[in-house]
Amino acid sequence: MHELSICESIVQTLEKQAETHEFSRVSVLRLEIGQFAGVEVESLRFCFPVVAEGTLAQDAALEITHIPAVAWCDDCKWSVSLKERYSSCPDCGGKALTLSSGEEMRIANVEVD
């Protein structure tokens, strides 16, 4: 379950930012997770409170925004939504797709005390 290590990295990042920006508690953590990021959101929700216990993120509300997969089709020159990673363009059937969103996972913002 790599979601555990993802949560550990998030907490480490928050602790480093706390030193730089001088805050002592995170009350809300907002993440953006792409459709193709390879993250099991429910596992992440389960792991986060366990990893955050005893840290500045303990009891922080975890809000997750789903980022849909979008690609540019070089064949029909349209931005298209994808349901599966290696699918064809839903408009023209072309294979020349460049993913523009859907793989990201990032801390969008935090509310701190």
The answer to the question of residue 96 being in a domain is no
Contact between 78 and 93 (Cβ < 8 Å): no
Parallel, antiparallel, or unpaired for β 78-81 and 97-101?
unpaired
Domain that holds residue 40: 2-68+102-112
**What CATH number is attached to the domain comprising 32?**
3.30.2320.50
Provide the domain count of the chain: 1
Which pTM was predicted? 0.88
Confidence band (pLDDT; 50, 70, 90) for 7? very high
- Which tokens in the block code for residue 5? 């290590």
The yes-or-no verdict on residue 28 having pLDDT over 60 is yes
Q: Mind listing the pLDDT tens digit for each residue in 50-100?
A: 999 999 999 999 999 999 999 999 999 999 999 998 899 999 999 999 999
User: Do the domain assignments include residue 17?
Assistant: yes
89 is in an annotated binding site: yes
Whether 47 has a binding-site annotation, put simply, is no
76 belongs to an annotated ligand binding site: yes
Name the average pLDDT for the chain.
96
Residue 2 assigned as binding residue: yes
Residue 87, domain member (yes or no): no
Does the residue 91 lie in any domain?
A: no
For range 103-111, the mean pLDDT: 97
